[in-house]
Amino acid sequence: MLFLPQEVIRQKRDGGTLGPEALQRFMAGIASGRIPDSQIAALAMAIFFRGMDTGESVALTLAMRDSGQVLDWSELPGPVVDKHSTGGVGDLVSLVLGPMVAACGGFVPMISGRGLGHTGGTLDKLEAISGYQTRPDPVAFRRVVRQVGVAIVGQTEALAPADRRFYAVRDVTATVESIPLITASILSKKLAAGLQALVMDVKTGNGAFMATPEAAQALAERIVTVGEGAGLPTRALITDMNQPLAPAAGNALEVHAALDYLTGSARPERLHAVTVALGEAMLLAAGLAEDAPQARVQLLEALESGAAAERFGRMVHALGGPIDLLTRPHRWLVPAPETAVVTAGRTGYVTAIDTRALGLVVCQLGGGRQRPEDTIDPRVGLSCLAERGQVLTADTVLARVHAADPASLAEAVAAVRAAFTLGDTPPEMPLLIRSVQPMQPSTDRKHP
């Protein structure tokens, strides 16, 4: 049958339903390089506006998965499970939760992504560690998972290559916030990784791609439904992103925060609550705990005993990083040359935070990309971030800015100050964890 990419684009542009064969051939063309970025962008925009029904979403997900290798972990002596977040600011959960679950007996082959839009990317964070290889060869990846229990890596040439190109094009064509595209991107990587269970962290709030609870619910339902339809048992939590999850945003700064969390130097309350809730869901989905209280005990023991930190250190070293990152982080995580403190300037409360604006500050400092080929500066970002509801004095630190040069430092200081709203009365705080799933499938409507 004759296959013309432009006809597939036209069909979706006009509101048609794409069949499995058309999607398989389009994704194969993306993976092989025969389909250029211009046609990828056109299809992404057509899907963005026209949406996809559940059947199309399953077909797109499987087509992305089948554009490369699918791993088989049948030789491992324990369950293979993973977690994925839809993205936010200061969301470093993957860095700490993977080692925690590994210390509890799970195997976590975590195929992660780079930053999208204003959100940080797990791979960009790990590449702030000198020598860390985010794209090991398949043999090395399997060895690290088998020996350490966790390996956080990116898509190799063999794993979901169509999604890797699609992901990069979406980042720079304003097509990130699409439920079918987010769903297929996430699940294709997870299916290619050979998982037995997946737990999703769907973010909602002004720092999330799904800003409203309704949008987050729709995405969570679609991910669970498509995951199940593609043969992957999937659960989802919906968590708040109306402020950064950790008090740091930026690649090396978030690695520092992850090390502090694992070693017990600092465990911020919101970060800890979300991490443990996701960990409980993972252990339950993997059959490693009988109930949530038992799962919580196991996770906290993994932290307090140092077992989770030890797994992280072993993973870093096995993937090319330093052997002494846990004990000498400042040797391997290079600081930014310029810093400045942003203070509140008045007494009161932090009543609101423009979380997306803070994420964009990190990008504009050089901690994110505006084009796929852009180079990340791992040193830059924000630390010491104040929280919503926090009581302030005039000298209270809202944030510390880490920049590469004085000009970008001055611009970032002004943007950070503008991102915080201060008031005389404490704000009403949203629930941190809005709902726990699995959920009942939604109606089979097309999701834009």
Which amino acid, residue 360? L
- Active site includes 85? yes
12, 50, 65, 83: the catalytic one is: 83
- Active site includes 91? no
> Which residue spans within 390-432 are E strands per DSSP?
391-392, 397-403, 420-423
66, 82, 240, 260: the catalytic one is: 82
- Active site includes 84? yes
Which residue from 144, 226, 132 is spatially nearest to 188, judged by alpha carbons? 226
| Phi then psi dihedrals of residue 341, to 5 deg | -100, 135
- Active site includes 83? yes
118, 189, 369, 400: the catalytic one is: 189
CA atoms within 13 A on the CB side of 380: 24
- Active site includes 400? no
67, 112, 122, 204: the catalytic one is: 122
Question: How do 81-85 and 197-204 pair as beta strands?
Answer: parallel
84, 118, 369, 434: the catalytic one is: 84
- CA 214 to the chain's CA centroid: 20
CA distance 225 to 48: 19
Cβ neighbors of 24 (< 8 A, separation 6 or more) are 59, 62, 63, 66
190, 203, 317, 369: the catalytic one is: 190
Residue carrying structure tokens 């794993």: 159
Which residue from 18, 22, 48 is spatially nearest to 35, judged by alpha carbons? 22
57, 86, 94, 185: the catalytic one is: 185
- Active site includes 203? no
165, 170, 317, 356: the catalytic one is: 170
Which residue from 448, 350, 366, 348 is spatially nearest to 405, judged by alpha carbons? 366
Which residue from 162, 170, 171 is spatially nearest to 45, judged by alpha carbons? 170
CA distance 296 to 278: 10
Cβ neighbors of 393 (< 8 A, separation 6 or more) are 344, 347
- Active site includes 170? yes
- Distances from the Cα of 185 to the Cαs of 58, 110, 192, 226, 316, in angstroms? 11, 14, 11, 12, 25
Which amino acid, residue 40? I
- Active site includes 446? no
57, 61, 67, 85: the catalytic one is: 85
Burial code (b: 16+ CB inside 10 Å, e: under 16) for 214-224 equals ebbbbbbbbbb
Active site residues: 82-85, 122, 170, 185, 189-190
